[in-house]
Chains A and B, each alone.
Chain A
Amino acid sequence: MEIIAQHGTVFIIIAIAFGLFMTWGIGANDVANVMGTSVGSGAITVMTAIIIAAIFEFAGAALAGGHVTATIRKGMIDPTPIVNNPEILVFGMLSALLAAAVWLAAASWRGWPVSTTHSIVGAIIGFAVTGIGIDAVKWGKVTQIVASWVVSPVLGGTVAFILMISIRRLILNTENPLQNAKRWGPVYVFLVGFIISLVTMFKGLKPLKLDLSVTMSFVLAAVFGAVIAGIGWALIRRVQVDEKAEEEHHFASVEKVFVPMMIFTACGMAFAHGSNDVANGVGPLAAVYGLVKSGGEVAQKSVLPLWILALGGAGIVLGLATFGYRVMRTIGTRITELTPTRGFSATMAAAATVVLASRTGMPVSTTHIAVGAVMGVGLARGIGAIDLRVVGGIVVSWIVTLPIGGGLAALFFFTLKGMFG
């Protein structure tokens, strides 16, 4: 108790620094993957992508980042054994942040495809097992999380596959593809707005003191979707037949219809990413802050202050502005195989899956879901060549990250405990 009272401010400052570093890293690296489908398909420029990402990552973090943050903050550990030593939880959360940050930096340097989410989850489990005891980990919840890492990319892929097939059925494989693209385009845009806003609002805005009823959520989501569809319709209407491009590729004009539509999926994707990944940085920060403010109450009943989510959002935007735009440019030039129709299917599927995960409080890897969604389009015979070795690399780094993140966290935990305790 005395330790927290004595060093409380220091702990909060350290947590803010580490949390900012993590979110900075997310903005620098992961956002580029998230926006890659949109930039690569030529739907939006790097500059537009950065503006969209800055606004919607922040919005996603602040509006819908609470659920996953709660999971990271207090969902995986049962702190009852340390009620009288709350400083252990503070050390633990700080070391988890530090461990994840160090492991991510090392992986970046070596070029390994390591997930931010896996690192922080592994680190928290590692600290809990060594610092409190194996029973302190809520294994049921952890099993759910790990299962979601397998389920979510598969779900993203399935949705992308279905979307791709539906676009072919309704638009590409018809007598007048362009006319049908203009007819169905707004419907797809409606779906983007409806699904993402419904999942977010459905009993999900409690942290903002906005408790909407089920009917109200549906009505509002429908209205929101309709407004977006209206904007989409106005943009799509102006698309003209490009005779010259048609000669080269029969579906050039149809693809042009999907260009303005991809702006909406790009926004949705950035929102989804912000709502899930911000927690990796600010979840532990929220835990430390809650512990210090309550004077060491480990149950953490206090409401998550909005400024913490906003800070995380700001960190992401900062990473994007200082470094992310360069990564985005590199990735964008490599993904030219993704035409707007394919990019739309993949991005919409990924965005919907990630938002669903965020709403249910599951910390998932947005990049893995995007990879799954692209594979879904590939399974629909829609992509020239996908390198399956990447999937192997992801699985390996997944298996390696959990023990290493955990081990590092344990190491830092005992160091911190020695320094302050």
Chain B
Amino acid sequence: MARKSPFASLFKHSPFKPMQEHINVVALCAARVPDLFEALSAGDRAKVVEVKEAIFELEQQADEIKNELRAHLPKSLMMPVDRRDLLEVLDMQDSIADTAQDIAGLLVERPMDVPEELKQPLLALVRRCVEACDHAAKIIGELDELVSTGFGGRESDLVTEMVKELNKIEEDTDEMGMALTSKLFGIEDQMKPVSVMFWYQLIQWIGDLADYAEKVGNRLRLLLAR
């Protein structure tokens, strides 16, 4: 005679572990973007396709974690953070993977050559953006510690510092992106106009990786202050 324990059913799965799993997959996904541009610079088409496949697969994985997490967050849950705020952080995390997917998709669909002048600064920008994503993942990694300290005190200060650091990285990427854009416009007469348009678009998208990473951090700060 096993009575269903009201005590055990009180506990639902914590959303924080899946949040961390999600951003870890997302960060892996973003981390493949530099490979994409390296292969492109080297003119290795096969490699570009291969990396694109990997990015698509990781994005798919992230989507599954996201959907699973959403399905297990009914409104009847009492959580230490606001449910809507948490879902927004999740959305921002997911946008990083979506952006990586867009970049990979375009590079496969439209074969493009990297102008020699852009190669170095382009890779530097991509790498800095990936650093922003990694940093966001590190911040989300603090979620369990935040629960331990009740989203306050020293742990909260630590996370606030980490978010500030993330903001700085994002500022860097903004400057690098603008410098790269002006370089692109400097050589626009030597390129096909449509290529210029697409490169401009790509630079925007690469910058978006860091933008969304920054938003992950900023939204997390909203969770702290309830």
Contact = CB atoms under 8 A, between A and B. Distances in A.
Contacts of B11: 40, 334-335, 337-338, 374, 383, 385-387
Contacts of A387: 9-12, 76-78
Contact of A367 (B6, B12, B78, B147): B6
A190 B88 CA distance: 45
A341 B148 contact: yes
B154 A105 contact: no
Interface string A244-269: 00000111000000000000000000
Interface in A261-297: none
B222 to A, nearest CB: 14
Nearest to B9: A390
A166 to B, nearest CB: 12
B77 A380 contact: no
Contact of A108 (B3, B147, B226): B3
B4 interface: yes
A389 B76 contact: yes
A25 B1 contact: yes
Nearest to A341: B148
Nearest to A28: B1
Nearest to A37: B7
Contacts of A164: 150
Interface in B125-175: 144-145, 147-155
B201 interface: no
B148 A251 contact: yes
Interface stretch (B13-21, B26-34, B94-102): B13-21
A173 B80 contact: no
A295 B66 CA distance: 71
A249 B145 contact: yes
Contacts of B77: 385-388
A28 to B, nearest CB: 7
Interface stretch (A109-117, A120-128, A200-208, A411-419): A109-117
Contacts of A111: 3-4
Contact of B8 (A28, A107, A174, A335): A335
Contacts of A393: 6
Contacts of A375: 10, 78
Q: Main secondary structure on chain B at its contact with chain A? A: loop
B192 to A, nearest CB: 51
B145 A371 contact: no
A172 interface: yes
Contact of B12 (A109, A175, A323, A385): A385
B157 to A, nearest CB: 10
B71 interface: no
Interface string A319-345: 000010011001100110111010000
Contact of A327 (B2, B14, B78): B2
Contacts of A175: 154
B120 interface: no
B6 A107 contact: no
Interface residues of B, number: 36
Given A172-B153, A331-B5, A382-B147, A371 B10 contact: yes
B79 interface: yes
Contacts, number: 151
A193 interface: no
A113 B8 CA distance: 11
The residue in A32, A367, A379, A385 that gathers the most chain B C-beta atoms within 10 A of its C-beta is A385
Contacts of B3: 29, 104, 107-108, 111-114
The residue in B78, B144, B151 that gathers the most chain A C-beta atoms within 10 A of its C-beta is B78
A323 B149 contact: no
Contacts of B152: 168, 173
B142 to A, nearest CB: 8
Contacts of B16: 384
A40 B9 CA distance: 13
A97 interface: no
A386 B78 contact: yes
A111 B2 CA distance: 7
Nearest to A393: B6
A108 B7 contact: no
A14 interface: no
Nearest to A172: B149
Contacts of A249: 144-145, 148
Given A173-B152, A381-B151, A382-B150, A32 B5 contact: yes
A378 interface: yes
B80 A378 contact: yes
10 contacts: A113-B5, A168-B153, A172-B153, A173-B149, A173-B154, A249-B144, A250-B155, A251-B148, A334-B8, A385-B14
Interface of A: 25, 28-29, 32-33, 36, 40, 104-105, 107-109, 111-114, 164-165, 168, 172-175, 249-251, 323, 326-327, 330-331, 334-335, 337-339, 341, 367, 370-371, 374-375, 378-390, 393-394
The 6 closest A-B pairs by CB, nearest first: A384-B14, A173-B153, A381-B80, A113-B6, A111-B4, A385-B12
